[in-house]
Structure 1
Amino acid sequence: MSDDSQRPIVVKKIKKGGHGHHGGAWKIAFADFMTAMMAFFLLMWLLGSVSKGNLKGIADYFANPVKVASAGGSGAGDADSLIKGGGEDLTKQGGQVKAGDVKPSDAAQDRRRLSELKKKFEALMEDKMQRNTKLAQFRNQMRLDMVAEGLRIQIVDEQNRPMFRSGSSELEIYAREVLHEIAQLLNEVPNTISLAGHTDATQFAGGERGYSNWELSSDRANTSRRELIAGGLDIQKVLRVNGFGDVIPLDKENIYNPINRRISIVVLNKEAEEDIRLQAGRAADEMVTAASAPATAAPPAQ
């Protein structure tokens, strides 16, 4: 039997060489990192340069892209949205009316039609006034301008030539003739109209508790509506009749100036017309909802 302690011990030494070449993998990783950083800073710059409405549209798109994309339309937010996915305007807030927005082409056509009506009205009234001395005296009392709602035609009072009898809603004869001429022109466009009556600041003896400028302005607006219809205006074209009393004077420096007594006829553009209809419909719906809601029982007496 051999003695294991006498066996020779062999020690093997491994001679290690220098580090081998790692290649260019780190360069690819670094390039990816730089690309990601560039994209990040570009995203931050874009988010800082867009409006809050567009930011909300983008956020809603990523929160539920299927719903936004399936709703149809040109973008997830407003017309200038960065992401095109369809759907209604996501930037609108409570109280705004966006469902009845008019297409830009329709709005442009509407403005052109009202602009042409303004020119035609001015030409016709000029011709009528040259052939009719009564209307010629009424020249300075006619005012036309374009407002947000459409074409506004105002007939104002003068000191010695009022439209209505003092403190009354009875029209003078020459005022009837002017309203008849206006009625014929209004029938030439498909737009609806809004009528408003205004008074000066002179108060009735009974004050606000009795028959006041509110009632007088409303009665005068309604009298003008009836006279326009008598002159041939299509009855379906009248959309709104208002009385503003003396709260919107034409001459703010002199609230007793006769020109503050006036009738305002606005040929409504489509956007204003839909806005009025939606507001009236919404108010009616709210009233029905309030009326149908169950009454809350009063707490028992303590």
Structure 2
Amino acid sequence: MAEEHRPIIIRRKKVVHKHHGGSWKIALADFMTALMALFLVMWILSTGDEEQREAVAEYFRTPLVVAMSGGNQSSSASTVIPGGGPDSSHSQGERARIDYRMQTRPADVRRQFQNIQRQIERAIQADPVLRQLEAQMRLDLTREGLRIQMMDTENRPMFEIGSPTVAPYMSRLLQTVAPILNSVDNALTISGHTDSIPYAGGYVGYSNWELSSDRANASRRELVAGGLDPNKLLSISGVADRIPLEGANPRDPMNRRITLVLHTEQSAEFIRRQGLLPGDAEEFERLLQEDAEAELGEGGLSLDENPQGFFL
């Protein structure tokens, strides 16, 4: 009987569920943050204009170390603090080129020229007379700067045939463009062009060379009359038919044109120094001296001692 009233004890194993941690939550939060940043950047790019997108692209193209050190590449400096003294990795001429190139950011220069280009295009569109000349205008960015070409057609020449006399609509165009070009400090060059048809004006000794030069100079006068500062002018030249339009027949009327170039600072300095950049003259003289010493020995003549002034 005692066994029948014995209590039954049931032992149940208690299972403890351990906590798995929250590392997955951190990973998910990082992923969502990155995704939100991606969509935010995409939204900004979709709503921004061309200049803003170029600024963003230029920012990501410029490494931080290079931007802070002022170098032209990541290997130009080992620290973010630019040091002094000569650069052992570059000759003086090459170092000068790099320093000169880094004075302005290419993206800023490009945006400035694009802004000038848009102003010219809007000014032409706003004038009913100049709007008819739109097909005779070419504006493009080159390594030199902003190039503006004003071309003839068979029915609408920019000058009187065989003459440097400016047509009224050409005068109006140049005087409209002048204040826009004058709004920046960049130097300006003017060149006149002709087609390959020989000049038949009846003047003895007068050719397409003189005609293209006279037309370039007549364009200068119109620009100055429109408000262009004469000090901005760097050169005025006539090249006759030696530089035809790419892909055009040499006798095509479009070759009769006036080309204005609003130069970058580097391009203008290159012209002022007659093809030399800072440091080139010293580097060239050093190479000449080395050649002279190689030919004549250590006691060879120096450039200063050369009485004839000829290159050794």
TM-score (norm. length: structure 1): 0.60
Q: Which residue of 2 aligns with 1:191?
A: 186
CA–CA separation in structure 2 for the residues paired with 1:198 and 1:96: 38
Q: Which residue of 2 aligns with 1:234?
A: 229
Structure 1 stretch 258-267 or stretch 197-206: which is displaced more? 197-206
* Structure 1 residue 203 corresponds to structure 2 residue 202: no
Tell me the SS of whatever aligns to 1:195. strand
Letter paired with 1:275:
F
Q: 1:180–1:230: 8 Å Cα contact kept in structure 2?
A: yes
Per-residue deviation at 1:98?
Answer: 2.2
- The structure-2 alpha-carbon separation of the partners of 1:92 and 1:119, relative to structure 1 and needing over 3 Å to count, comes to farther
The percentage of counterpart residues that share the same residue type is: 41
> Superposition RMSD on alpha carbons, in Å?
3.4
* Structure 1 residue 122 corresponds to structure 2 residue 121: yes
Q: 2:162–2:201: 8 Å Cα contact kept in structure 1?
A: no
Q: 1:100–1:275: 8 Å Cα contact kept in structure 2?
A: no
CA–CA separation in structure 1 for the residues paired with 2:89 and 2:211: 44
- The structure-2 alpha-carbon separation of the partners of 1:102 and 1:168, relative to structure 1 and needing over 3 Å to count, comes to same
Of residues 273, 279, 285 in structure 1, which corresponds to 2:274?
279
Per-residue deviation at 1:200?
Answer: 0.3
Q: Which residue of 2 aligns with 1:269?
A: 264
CA–CA separation in structure 1 for the residues paired with 2:186 and 2:145: 9
Unaligned runs of 5+ in 2: 1-68, 282-302
CA–CA separation in structure 2 for the residues paired with 1:295 and 1:248: 38
* Structure 1 residue 214 corresponds to structure 2 residue 209: yes
Of residues 152, 156, 179 in structure 1, which corresponds to 2:174?
179
* Structure 1 residue 147 corresponds to structure 2 residue 146: no
CA–CA separation in structure 2 for the residues paired with 1:206 and 1:293: 50
Q: Which residue of 2 aligns with 1:135?
A: 130
TM-score (norm. length: structure 2): 0.58
Deviation string 1:89-135 (CA, Å, 9 cap, x unpaired) is 96579899827723264433222111111112111211123xxxx32
CA–CA separation in structure 2 for the residues paired with 1:197 and 1:96: 36
- The structure-2 alpha-carbon separation of the partners of 1:184 and 1:206, relative to structure 1 and needing over 3 Å to count, comes to closer
Q: Which residue of 2 aligns with 1:109?
A: 108
Runs of 4+ in 1 over 3 A off after TM superposition: 78-97, 104-107, 292-296
Tell me the SS of whatever aligns to 2:274. helix
Letter paired with 1:199:
T
Per-residue deviation at 1:88?
Answer: 6.0
Q: Map 1:1-302 to 2 at 5 A.
A: 79=73, 81=75, 84=78, 87=86, 98=97, 101-103=100-102, 105-129=104-128, 134-205=129-200, 210-279=205-274, 294-295=307-308
Tell me the SS of whatever aligns to 1:110. helix
CA–CA separation in structure 2 for the residues paired with 1:263 and 1:220: 8
Per-residue deviation at 1:270?
Answer: 1.4
Structure 1 stretch 149-158 or stretch 268-277: which is displaced more? 268-277
CA–CA separation in structure 2 for the residues paired with 1:89 and 1:187: 42
Q: 1:193–1:239: 8 Å Cα contact kept in structure 2?
A: yes
Per-residue deviation at 1:198?
Answer: 0.7
Q: 1:92–1:98: 8 Å Cα contact kept in structure 2?
A: no
Q: Count matched residues.
A: 210
